[in-house]
């Protein structure tokens, strides 16, 4: 496909071959035109509106499509709205009309051609499905009244009594039972939890006899406690429980 490009200030005009129309790309608002057109409004490379912007939305770029005489712009806009829904980039369609069945093949062929051009121009995220943000990592705060609370761990063949005695000190009472071996990855390789757990155990080898601790062991964090006792692999804040069964997470999380 051979395109003709003209750049005028903040706008670029691409002419499609065989009188199939033009694309006008730019920032701000497109210049006034009497040519039939459909406008895609973008924000950070993603489609946020077709022809009109939803209330409260601001675009940073536009793509104005001026098709040839044989493509009805109203139906073209509707098909772009359908594409956005089909690809999961929006749940609520921008437009709710329909395209007559006998016109769909021609409209779709033109849409496919425009998509090829936009992909080549770097607009690969135009109809991308939004990436869901994971939940924010919980924050925990040490308090003096927690220092004397005995928290029990009974998880994955390990048992221990643990005290959060200072902000950066977790003390595991002697007599703790350690998980003997770590589980391997699905492919049989050694996992990160095993490597880190073995390193911590090696640092405190003098306090370990087999799978039992003979002395108190002081570590720096809940994460280290989990790696030391059972090679990690779970949320340690939920495994530490007081005598009433309340987790350390519930007692220390910052709302």
3-state helix, strand, coil in the chain (%, to 5): 30, 25, 45
**Within this chain, do residues 39 and 114 fall inside the same structural domain, yes or no?**
yes
Instruction: Count helices and strands (H / E) in the chain.
Output: 6, 12
Residue 133 lies in a domain: no
Which residues span the domain enclosing 34? 4-120
**Within this chain, do residues 192 and 151 fall inside the same structural domain, yes or no?**
yes
Residue 132 lies in a domain: no
d(CA 110, CA 249): 56
Residue 127 lies in a domain: no
**Within this chain, do residues 115 and 203 fall inside the same structural domain, yes or no?**
no
**Within this chain, do residues 97 and 149 fall inside the same structural domain, yes or no?**
no
**Within this chain, do residues 230 and 148 fall inside the same structural domain, yes or no?**
yes
Residue 138 lies in a domain: no
Domain count, the chain: 2
**Within this chain, do residues 95 and 23 fall inside the same structural domain, yes or no?**
yes
Report the DSSP beta bridge partners of residue 78. Answer: none
Instruction: Tell me the torsion sign for CA atoms 84, 85, 88, 94.
Output: positive
**Within this chain, do residues 110 and 171 fall inside the same structural domain, yes or no?**
no
pLDDT tens digits, residue range 28-75? 888 888 999 999 999 988 999 999 988 888 999 999 999 998 899 999
**Within this chain, do residues 230 and 195 fall inside the same structural domain, yes or no?**
yes
**Within this chain, do residues 13 and 115 fall inside the same structural domain, yes or no?**
yes
The token pair at 161 is: 């009594």
Distances (CA, A) of 164 to 50, 141, 171: 56, 11, 6
**Within this chain, do residues 187 and 85 fall inside the same structural domain, yes or no?**
no
Q: Return the pLDDT at 134.
A: 65
Q: Tell me what the pLDDT averaged over the chain comes to.
A: 92
Task: Please list the ranges in the chain whose pLDDT falls under 50.
Answer: none
Phi, psi of 203 (to 5 degrees): -65, -25
**Within this chain, do residues 169 and 97 fall inside the same structural domain, yes or no?**
no
């Amino acid at each position: 496909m051979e395109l003709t490009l003209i750049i005028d200030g903040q706008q670029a005009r691409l002419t499609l071959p065989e009188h199939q129309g033009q694309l006008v790309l730019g920032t701000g608002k497109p210049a006034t035109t009497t040519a039939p057109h459909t406008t895609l409004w973008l924000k950070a490379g993603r489609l946020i509106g077709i022809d009109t912007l939803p209330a409260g939305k601001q675009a940073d770029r536009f793509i104005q499509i001026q098709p040839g005489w044989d493509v009805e712009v109203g139906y073209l806009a509707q098909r772009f709205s359908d594409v956005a829904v089909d690809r999961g980039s929006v749940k609520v369609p921008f437009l709710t009309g329909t395209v007559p069945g006998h016109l769909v093949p021609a409209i779709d062929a033109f849409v496919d051609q425009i998509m090829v051009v936009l992909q080549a121009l770097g607009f690969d995220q135009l109809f991308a499905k939004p990436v869901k943000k994971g939940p924010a990592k919980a924050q925990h705060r040490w308090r003096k009244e927690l220092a004397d609370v005995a928290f029990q761990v009974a998880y994955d063949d390990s048992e221990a009594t643990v005290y959060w005695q200072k902000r950066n000190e977790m003390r595991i009472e002697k007599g703790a039972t350690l998980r003997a071996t770590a589980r391997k990855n699905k492919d049989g390789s050694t996992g990160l939890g095993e490597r880190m757990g073995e390193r911590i155990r090696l640092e405190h080898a003098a306090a370990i006899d087999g799978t039992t601790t003979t002395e108190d062991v002081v570590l720096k964090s809940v994460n280290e406690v989990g790696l030391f006792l059972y090679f990690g692999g779970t949320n340690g804040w939920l495994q530490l429980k007081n005598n009433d069964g309340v987790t350390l997470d519930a007692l220390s999380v910052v709302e």
